[in-house]
Amino acid sequence: MPIRWTAIEALDTQEFTSQSDVWSFGILMTEILTKGRVPYVGWDNDTVIAQVRRGYRLPAEDDWPESLYEIIKRCWDREPQRRPTFKYLNRILTGYFADGEYC
């Protein structure tokens, strides 16, 4: 299982949903913004699991716009039903990048 990209609830249930995919998408966004850096670099899988369960979330880099990081953080909400949908993410990110806010 790709631990570093897996949502908290999917770690326990091994069931994957669109909400758990949104979590993974948030991780993917950090990879893109860091030009491919592996998430949780230097941590073994057990440490990743323990820290994420305790509430740790990948931090923003200094050059990331706060508004973009806020979108990413919403993807990692502990409660799957509170995460944005892909439809919402598509709309908000399309507008975000079309406006040239992050280019």
Whole-structure pTM value: 0.92
The yes-or-no verdict on residue 103 having pLDDT over 60 is: no
Residue 27 near residue 5, CB atoms below 8 Å: yes
Q: Supply the pLDDT for residue 95.
A: 85
Task: Retrieve residue 59's tokens.
Answer: 């931090």
Spatial separation of the C-alpha atoms in residues 50 and 43, rounded to whole Å = 11
Q: Supply the pLDDT for residue 1.
A: 84
Q: Supply the pLDDT for residue 19.
A: 98
CATH code at 3-98 = 1.10.510.10
**Average pLDDT in the chain:** 94
Residue 23 near residue 76, CB atoms below 8 Å: yes
Residue 24 makes CB contacts below 8 A (sequence gap 6+) with: 2, 5, 6, 7
Residue 38, CA distances (Å) to 8, 72, 85 in order: 18, 16, 24
pLDDT tens digits for 19-46? 999 999 999 999 999 999 999 999 999 9
